[in-house]
Amino acid sequence: MNTSIYEKPLPQPDPDSQMFWDGCKEHKLLVQQCKGCGTHRFPPDSMCYICQSRDYEWVAVEGRGVIYSWIIVHYSPHRAFSRDVPYAVAYVELNTPKTIRMCGNIVNCKNEDISAGMPVEVVFDDVTPEVTLPRWKPTK
């Protein structure tokens, strides 16, 4: 756990997303699965965009994927992040289900070594006692 004071903005869960962030705290990557048609969805929502069912359950996904796109931030106008530049943010496309993409930092990897399609896996970073952020590291 990071023992210094965490000064970056933290997610503010809402009724749709609370379970996702609760899952992260338990080091599980949870997404919704529709009980009507089986479609997985992220970001969380109250209705299925395929069959309009409002019935769903939370399921854990494996947390492995590939880099779909990425950026290296060299300048940030926000003090919370400007001390970290250059840092990497990626869209990760999950292996299963492939329809889900998540945004996150790439860690344990030099910025110049990041490439399209690079396999990554989730790592959970307990940034405060209450909040855990999923980040992504290269799969060995």
Residues 24-63 that bind Zn ion (CB under 5 A): 34, 36-37, 39, 48, 50-51, 53
CB of 35 to other proteins, least distance (A): 20
Name the residue nearer to other proteins (CB basis): 36 or 89. 89
SS3 content of the chain, % helix, strand, coil (to 5): 10, 40, 50
Tokens 């930092």 belong to: 105
Q: Which residues form the interface with other proteins (CB under 8 A)?
A: 8-14, 17, 42-43, 49, 68-78, 80-81, 84, 86-87, 89, 91, 100-105, 116, 133, 135
Name the residue nearer to other proteins (CB basis): 77 or 129. 77
Which residue, 58, 66, 1, is CA-closest to 28? 58
Distance of CA 67 to the CA centre of its chain: 12
